[in-house]
Amino acid sequence: MFEWIGISPQALFGQLLLGLINGSFYALLSLGLAVIFGMLNIINFAHGALYMMGAFCAYFLLNAFGLGYWWALVLAPLIIGVFGMVIERTLLQWIARLDPLYSLLMTFGLCLVIQGVFQNYFGSSGLPYAIPRELSGGQNLGFMFLPNYRAWVIVFSLVVCLATWFMIERTRLGARLRAATENPTLVRAFGIDVPRMITLTYGFGVALAALAGVLSAPINQVRPTMGADFIIVVFAVVVIGGMGSIMGSIVTGFLLGVVEGMTKVFYPEASNTVIFVIMALVLLVKPAGLFGRTA
């Protein structure tokens, strides 16, 4: 069926799968960035470092406490999320009224601190993290081999993303959240504790990053530098999608993962840069981003 383009179906579907995996991480990370941006009006530069911390947290839970993958999937986002809330309370809240560029600089500083500390203790080499027993092996679909763990990552990320969308767009809590984004002063006048909501939102966004970190640990190994270059691509994804809509972040994330995977099949030389090129094109045609509101 695919012979006419000279590409084997194994390679094509293999890269499609990898693209969807990367897309899951893009979606989870850009979703977290969008949630944080909506509430705090800042871009969290430390997001990549916190994603890395999520993976390391899973590694420590296993090697220090003997708590396996399933525990890590619950505990790591909680622990890193609390860590994020501490950052918000101790540092970010003091600069909330300043130009958002200052919070970009501060979170960049935090990113350097976190990454530097981990690099001191673990160097740059990767630490292995085994795929959980329940998800090892795979299915032979005839045209390709589908490892169970990879299928799990895609399905689980999709579920988490859609649950987040449902919570923000369709529940009472989400309605308050959106109202507080629009007009914090008025929402406070109704007796809702907006500063606490801000802290929890930051913690939630960070928890999403940590969750992505746990999911990627068995695939990409656990490395101190795993978040640094990755987050720059996520920034490009955010620029392409625009941060106005939750669903927009999810769709753009998965879509660009697939585009990147397909580029690896058809024109491998450009696979590192294709997302940046798309960003440039989107800026030319629709500067606000595909799903962005004019800002």
User: DSSP readout, 235-294?
Assistant: HHHHHHH-TT-HHHHHHHHHHHHHHHHHHHHH-GGGTTTHHHHHHHHHHHH-TT-SSPPP
Contact call for residue 151 and another protein (CB under 8 A): no
C-alpha dihedral, 192 to 195 to 201 to 204, nearest 10°: -110
Among 62, 71, 73, 119, which residue interacts with another protein (rule: CB under 8 A)? 119
What are the φ and ψ backbone dihedral angles of 222, each rounded to 5 degrees? -105, 110
Contact call for residue 42 and another protein (CB under 8 A): yes
Q: How far is Cα 118 from Cα 122, in angstroms, rounded to an integer?
A: 6
Among 61, 85, 111, 246, which residue interacts with another protein (rule: CB under 8 A)? 111
Contact call for residue 28 and another protein (CB under 8 A): no
Q: Min. distance of Cβ 240 from another protein in angstroms?
A: 10
Cβ nearer to another protein, comparing 98 with 186? 98
Contact call for residue 85 and another protein (CB under 8 A): no
Cβ nearer to another protein, comparing 116 with 137? 116
DSSP for residue 227: T
Cβ nearer to another protein, comparing 80 with 153? 80
Across-strand partners of 138?
A: 147
User: DSSP readout, 155-197?
Assistant: HHHHHHHHHHHHHHHHSHHHHHHHHHHH-HHHHHHTT--HHHH
Contact call for residue 284 and another protein (CB under 8 A): yes
Cβ nearer to another protein, comparing 74 with 98? 98
Among 76, 106, 214, 250, which residue interacts with another protein (rule: CB under 8 A)? 106
Given a contact cutoff of 8 angstroms between Cβ atoms, the answer to whether 157 and 24 are in contact is yes
Q: Min. distance of Cβ 43 from another protein in angstroms?
A: 5
Token pair of 52 as six digits? 């890395």
Q: Min. distance of Cβ 31 from another protein in angstroms?
A: 16
Q: Which of residues 205-244 bind another protein (CB under 8 A)?
A: 228-229, 232-233, 235-236, 238-239
Going by C-beta distance under 8 Å and a sequence separation of 6 or more, which residues neighbour residue 154?
Answer: 17, 20, 21, 24
Contact call for residue 294 and another protein (CB under 8 A): no
Given a contact cutoff of 8 angstroms between Cβ atoms, the answer to whether 295 and 57 are in contact is no
Q: Would you tell me which residues interact with another protein (CB under 8 A)?
A: 42-43, 91, 94-95, 98, 100-106, 108-117, 119-120, 228-229, 232-233, 235-236, 238-239, 269, 272-273, 275-277, 279-280, 283-284, 287, 295
